[in-house]
Structures are given as structure tokens and as C-alpha cells.
Amino acid sequence: MEKIILDGNIVAQDIKEKLKGRIEALKNNGIIPCLATILVGDNPSSETYVKMKGNACKKLGIHSIRVHLPEETTTKELLETIKELNEDASVHGILLQHPVPSHIDERMAFEAIDIQKDVDGVTSAGYGQTALGFGNFPSCTPAAIMEIIKYYKISTEGKHAVVVGRSPILGKPVSALLLNENATVTTCHSKTANLPEIIKQADLVVAAVGKPKFIQGSWLKEGAIVLDAGYNKGNIGDVDYETCFTAASAITPVPGGVGPVTIATLLKHTVDSAEKNMF
């Protein structure tokens, strides 16, 4: 059985190449695509992610505004910052880096983001539109998974997809996106009984559980396709790569799989939003 490594770097590069002409056209019309990232506190991982996103913007010619708020910022103060960015016509996308400090109402902050600028797909309205099939900006990691599926011409129609994880910005929206592409979707979670038996039925597995090396190769049906959206300490995904590689017909590596495509998708959404401003 031929093994396919689903290389996210190639997919991300393809997305970025296609953005270059669109960004140039926007600039010729006096519009510079702009992404504002908000970081609250000094979480080292979050700081790294924000820096990576800023660097990716810079390489493509997208303007990046970084708003760094202190750890003690209140929910009210954060909402005021979001309101200012909502009202700034030069800002096309707003990303609130999560998690925020525990004393802040994160959901309230997400909901404050203007849906036209919700390029990370974190609002409940954005999720609802995604589920109904007309959302402009699905959550970036689920959208990235769908980009990988599309790039490698993986058919989802009639296939049984098992999503392990039900978070509001990963498990739930990717289940909805797969359902919209005519897959039969089972969404599993920490309370699911007989998880290995359910995964054994899957033609396509999406790992989004947040536990390193959680999904084992022995759980997979021979020839299953594995998309690992996990990213844990030490560059480890949610699947046990070595054993899953043996059983799978196609698999995303970690790092270099879903991650790079997630960032490229965020840039694409920002450009999409800027273009809406042009017309």
C-alpha cells in the first residue's frame, strides 16, 4: 500500500502563492490587508504563535498590528480594545490569541469581534454560518484540514469520518465542514465509550483531542486517512505517528502538517476580508 505524507508546507505555500496577486491588486486600489492580533498576558507559547503569524504577514505584504495587553487586563478593557479595532476601517481581521488569562470572559471577548473581521472563526454567529454552509470565515484549523483534503484530492463523499474532539473552534466546526462535503461524521469526545472500536470504522480520522500520541495505529482501519490537528509539547501530535503511519494510507506529520496550513488560512481570510472592503 502506497503511503502518502500529507505535507502541510506544500499546501501552505500553494495558498500563499495564490494570495500574492490578490494582495498586489488590493494595494493597487489603495488597500493594504491588515490583521490585528491581540495578546493578553505573557504566555510564552502564545507569544510564539503571535510572532509566527506576524512574520507570515510580513513575508506576504500583509500589514500586521500587534496589541499586547498586560496580564491584569479586565474583560471590560479587552472589550474596549476589540471595539476600537472593529471601528478601525484599516483593520480587516482581528485575532484574539487564546487562551486568555482565566479571569477574563473569553467567550464574551470572542463574541465582541465584528463577524466581518472574525477571520479566525471564533464567534458563535460565524460557527453557525459555517455549519449551515455559507460562512465566510470558518475556524482556521478546521478550514486548513479541508484545504489539505482538497489539495490532495481526497474524496469525502460517502466516507465515514471520525472526529476525536468537540472544541468550539476545532472539533465541532470540522465535523460540520465534513458533513457539508457529504461525509458521514461521528464526533467523539472524552465521554465516548468504545472509542477504539469507533475509530476502527473510520475511513478518515481527525485527531483534535489535545493529548499527545493518544490515537494508536492498532485502532485504525487498514488504509485510513489520518489528519492530526494536535500540537503538544515537544512537537508531538495527538496520534502516535509511528504506529498510525504503518496502518494509514495517508497521514499528516507533526510538525509540518496542519499547522502551516492553519496560518496560511488565516492570511487568506484576511485577504478575503480586505477584498470585501474593495467592492
How far apart are the C-alpha atoms of 192 and 186, rounded to whole Å? 11
Among the listed residues 7, 118, 120, 240, the single catalytic one is 120
The residue behind cell 505555500 is: 13
Is 203 one of the annotated active-site residues of the chain? no
Which residue of the set 53, 117, 159, 268 is catalytic? 53
14 is catalytic: no
Q: Choose the catalytic residue: 97, 172, 228, 240.
A: 97
Residue 18 appears among annotated catalytic residues: no
Catalytic residue set: 53, 97, 120
